[in-house]
Structure 1
Amino acid sequence: MSTKKFLLIGAATLIVSNPTFAGDYLTNTNQNAAFLRMVARGASIDVDGVYSNPAGLAFLPKDGFHLSLTGQSAYQTREIHASTPLWTQDGNITEKYYKGTASAPLIPSFHGAYKRDNWVISAGFAITGGGGKASFDNGLPMFDAMAAGLIAQQSQGLVTPSMYDINTAMDGKQYIYGVQLGLSYKINDWLSVFAGGRMNYVKSGYEGYLIAKMKESYGGKTLADLQLKCDQSGWGLTPIIGIDAKLGRWNLAAKYEFKTNLNIENKTDKLLVPDGVPESVLKPYADGEQTPSDIPAYLSVAAGYEILPNLRASVEYHFFDDKRAGMLNDRQKTLTHGTHEYLAGIEWDIVKMLTVSGGFQKTSYGLSDDFQTDTSFYCSSYSLGFGARARLSEAWSIDIAYFWTNYEDYEKSSDNYNGTGMPGTDVYSRTNKVFGLSLNYQF
């Protein structure tokens, strides 16, 4: 494949599907500050169960309305250390450092349920995937590498990196808004079920440019010019079922979200690429074109246990069936397996009006070198969350929490670095922290 073709494909895949929160590639599992402070909420019998354990809502102790309004702030960095002889083309391997920041200062969500006897109707709104904007103010190694390769190819090696400057920047954003509605029913004293669905609306976009010019001392000629501005949108429906069994001190729960078939459509305002790029390469990124971006099926299984009347613990398992969820260019086929998550949490009522809690989550992706790209890379991780609930009265309470993630570095090496014919290595790393506050009310 030519350098020109790689250059275009790299630019057009600037879709920030990386979640700013916990969860899978296109799924945010933290919808309430109660998750951030305890993590394992899949066996919860509380208002946050609208998302985490909807069948368990049938065991809410009081009839009436149960409402929760949440605000979260998430901050993330994405770093790439790129080592290759391409940067100087003098036979020496040098390293360039690239840093992107992704922030979501306010991510709102709402969960509400109305219980009467054995029936509960529930509704929720949240940003169920994505949730922020990523900015690489000094570009990305894939673009710098491909521009350097293109210039070397066109000049037959007569123009070296010391003779020109590259000015580049890339931004990407993605939001998946979800509106959920469902019905829970308590079959008997120990068993309840749930059926419902979520409407998902995707709004994403990416914008970037790369301009390579000879230095003024060499004439200032433009060598490469790439510009891209594209917005995307689409929608899909997620059917959801759940079950909860309350057995003495134990509460066992499961939820299954079916795969969401989702296509996103381009609205391309600008697509400027070097001459000679084949039409077949341009077509997938042209205005009006659609590409698959399915939300994978998701299984949650959880168990909660009341150790003491004021001390509770939970464990939980998540599976995301990523390999069966369609992605652009069948990217999902390069994964080695779906995503596995293991969660545990504990909470303690210190006094009647105050509960403290903490939790742990381990996320294991089925990553491969072919799946990882500069514009959309992931790292397996573990996360810690802690916080508290303060009960202000019989009706009002507040959850406040902090959630921190530690990521494993991912190293990707190639003898044909970004299609340039030279070797190179990228080391991907990330950081993430989330703050959350929920205001809860029941009447």
Structure 2
Amino acid sequence: MRKISLISIVMLIVSIPTFAGGILTNTNQHVSFLRMLARGASIDIDGVYSNPAGLAFLPEDGLYLSLNGQSAYQTRNIKATFPLFIEDGNTRYYKGKASAPFIPSFQGAYKKGDWTISGSFAVVGGGGKASFDDGLGMFDSMVMGQVHTISGGQITSNMYSINSAMDGSQFIYGVQLGLSYQVNDWLGVFAGGRMNYFTGGYEGFLTATAHSNIPTYGGMELVGIDLDCDQTGWGLTPILGADVKLGKWNIGLKYEFMTSLNLENKTKKAEVRAMGTAMGDEGNPLADYKDGVNTPSDIPALLTAAVGYEFLPTLRATLEYHHFFDKAAGMANDKQKALKHGTHEILIGAEWDIAKQLTISGGYQRTDYGLADDFQSDISFSCDSYSLGFGAAIKMTKHLTMNIAYFWTNYDDYTKKISETTKNVYSRTNKVFGLGVDYKF
């Protein structure tokens, strides 16, 4: 039996995309981000993530708490063209759905004089379940090519049927702790870290079965693949920050170091079969996903810089930049080397206190991943995008504020040309709703 080139098939259900931010990072850790986006110069409880050094300038001593919940829904669609597909134009459509009905996050800060200690718990990457009920194009085309080869061309694509499906869940939970210090009237600094824990579960199968009326091969399983794999891993992220407060201007800076993260397989089944015979360990394309094997999945370093300005006591705006150092982070099969550059993000947002109890806000984000064909595949694809968000902060009492927001992303289609007769067009959608409460004791 020839080796089936499935070396990255497992990752097609591993790659559940983030809902806002870089390739592997969720930046939407507070509902205030959804309603304004550019929060890197914030001096409020959401700054625990977005601008931790700014916590040194919280207006009053005391305890600040925030609890947030978000619901996120994505679609991931692939339009695949392959010469052995029997549909019109040799084209098939594959639809995937990723959902996270509830993404929780918690932030807390305690300020005493010049010092502020802060902490948070959030889903910092992934955050849902993805399903492709009809499999994926790369799966089907790979197997169709293999069937053609092992049968010496005697079995054509109209002589058998393919049944496949796959789903998986991926979460990176983060617990952050740090300390902010007000150096003087205009400078605050921060040092801290985040412990990240990855957990994921993935299941998939494919069977290519000859039609019962086909001579010799009738009813036979031509090719079969079964996968049942869990992965876990953890890593630490050191974080530094600074905040410069100059009158109506505020500048927030943050740097998160790269997190070394290796995922260990806990595999119940990873089997490839041809003509009913299971392939051995030697040369097995799923060998990297056998039980106990580790796969690199580093969280890239992140630099954020934001400038906020208070036009009026009731009107504020922020311009922000993010850079994810994706090319320096280890990924499966070193695919990060194919990227043209790390992720660039430009964000702008504004908020207006239209009444003493009500603030409305909106924002825009443009994301450029530096994508290249060798980085993209059915198993893991990204699309450049722009995002819009809007919402409100409602002061329920002197101490209690409720944030509500809606956020959606518009993606650019990405076309990957594999050969003169084979190409894939990748597309996505993303919608997030958030509700949270902030409380000052």
TM-score by length of 1: 0.95
* Matching of residues 176-255 of structure 1 within 5 Å: 176-218=172-214, 219-255=218-254
C-alpha offsets along residues 233-262 of structure 1, whole Å, 9 cap, x if unaligned?
A: 000000000000110000011000000011
Does the CA contact (< 8 Å) of 2:13 and 2:130 recur in 1? Answer: no
Distance 1:387 1:37 in 2: 4
Look up the match of 1:84.
82
Secondary structure of 1:411's counterpart equals strand
| One-letter amino acid matched to 1:347 | E
1:166 corresponding residue in structure 2: 162
The answer to whether residue 429 in structure 2 is matched with residue 425 in structure 1 is: no
Q: Which residue of 1 aligns with 2:95?
A: 99
The whole-number CA distance in structure 2 between the counterparts of 1:290 and 1:187 is 44
Alignment of 1:296-335 (within 5 A): 296-335=300-339
Mapped to 2, the partners of 1:3 and 1:238 lie a distance apart of: 43
1:170 Cα offset (Å): 1.1
Deviation at 1:15, TM superposition (A): 4.3
Per-residue deviation at 1:14?
2.7
Q: Distance in 2 between matches of 1:266 and 1:337?
A: 30
1:39 matched to which residue of 2? Answer: 37
- Is the contact made by 1:211 and 1:225 (CA closer than 8 Å) also made in structure 2? yes
Instruction: Work out whether residues 338 and 374 of structure 2, in 8 Å CA contact, stay in contact via their aligned partners in 1.
Output: yes
Determine which of 347, 350, 368 is the counterpart of 1:346.
Answer: 350
Change (3 A) 1:3 1:361: farther
Which residue identity lines up with residue 349 of structure 2 in the other structure?
G
1:131 to 122, 127, 131: 127
The answer to which of 110-119 and 20-29 deviates more is 20-29
Aligned to 1:384: 388
- The residue type paired with residue 429 of structure 1 is S
Q: Structure 1 unaligned segments of length 5 or more: list them.
A: 416-421
Residues 400 and 436 in structure 1, CA contact (< 8 A), matched pair in contact too: yes
Alignment of 1:348-387 (within 5 A): 348-387=352-391
**Aligned 8 A contact 2:191 2:241 in 1:** yes
CA distance in 1, matches of 2:63, 2:336: 42
Match of residue 107 from structure 2: 111
SS in structure 2 of the partner of residue 65 of structure 1:
strand
Secondary structure of the corresponding residue to residue 28 of structure 1: coil
8 Å Cα contact 2:69/2:102 also seen in 1: yes
Show the counterpart of 2:414: 410
Contact 1:167 1:212 in 2 (8 A): yes
Aligned equivalents of 1:10 and 1:182: distance in 2?
A: 38
Cα distance between partner residues in 1 of 2:120 and 2:349: 24
Alpha-carbon contact 1:20-1:74 (below 8 Å) kept: no
- Partner secondary structure for residue 180 of structure 1: strand
Q: CA deviation at 1:423?
A: 2.9
Range 20-29 or range 193-202, more displaced: 20-29
State the TM-score, normalizing by the size of structure 2.
0.96
| Whole-angstrom CA distance in 2 between matches of 1:239 and 1:20 | 21
Displacement of 1:5: 3.1
Does structure 1 retain, via aligned residues, the 8 Å contact 2:106–2:121? yes
Deviations 1:19-38 (A, max 9, x none): 33111111000101100000
> Aligned to 1:323, what secondary structure does the other structure show?
helix
The alpha carbon displacement at 1:11 in A equals 2.2
Q: Determine if contact 2:13/2:166 at 8 Å carries over to the other structure.
A: no
Q: Distance in 1 between matches of 2:13 and 2:193?
A: 26
Deviation at 1:276, TM superposition (A): 5.0
The CA deviation at 1:76 is 0.2
Q: Contact 1:68 / 1:112 at 8 angstroms: preserved in 2?
A: yes
How far residue 17 of structure 1 moved from its aligned partner, in angstroms, is 3.4
Q: Which residue of 2 aligns with 1:269?
A: 268
Distance 2:393 2:7 in 1: 48
Percent identity between matched residues is 62
Post-superposition shift, 1:352? 0.5
Question: In 2, Cα distance between the equivalents of 1:339 and 1:136?
Answer: 27
User: How far apart, CA to CA, are the structure 2 residues paired with 1:106 and 1:12?
Assistant: 26
Structure 1 Cα separation of the partners of residues 81 and 251 of structure 2: 49
Offset, 1:280:
6.3
Mapped contact 1:33–1:401 kept (Cα < 8 A) = yes
Match of 2:64 among 46, 63, 66: 66
CA distance in 2, matches of 1:18, 1:163: 34
CA contact under 8 A between 2:72 and 2:430: conserved in structure 1? yes
How far apart in 1 are the matches of 2:269 and 2:370?
Answer: 34
Match of 2:439 in 1: 441
Structure 1 residue 334 displacement after superposition: 1.0
Instruction: Give distance in 1, aligned partners of 2:177 and 2:13.
Output: 29
- Superposition pairs of residues 17-56 of structure 1, within 5 angstroms: 17-56=15-54
On the 8 A contact 1:18/1:377 being kept in 2, the answer is: no
For the pair 1:146 / 2:145, whether they are aligned, the reply is no
- Tell me which amino acid in the other structure corresponds to 2:210: M
Aligned length: 433
User: CA deviation digits over 1:272-297, x for unaligned, max 9?
Assistant: 10355743644321100111111010
- What is the match of residue 9 of structure 2? 11
C-alpha distance in structure 2 between counterparts of 1:379 and 1:414, whole Å? 17
Shift of 1:215: 1.7
Further displaced range: 100-109 or 269-278: 269-278
Q: How far, CA to CA, are the matches of 1:374 and 1:183 in structure 2?
A: 42
Q: Which amino acid aligns with 2:104?
A: P
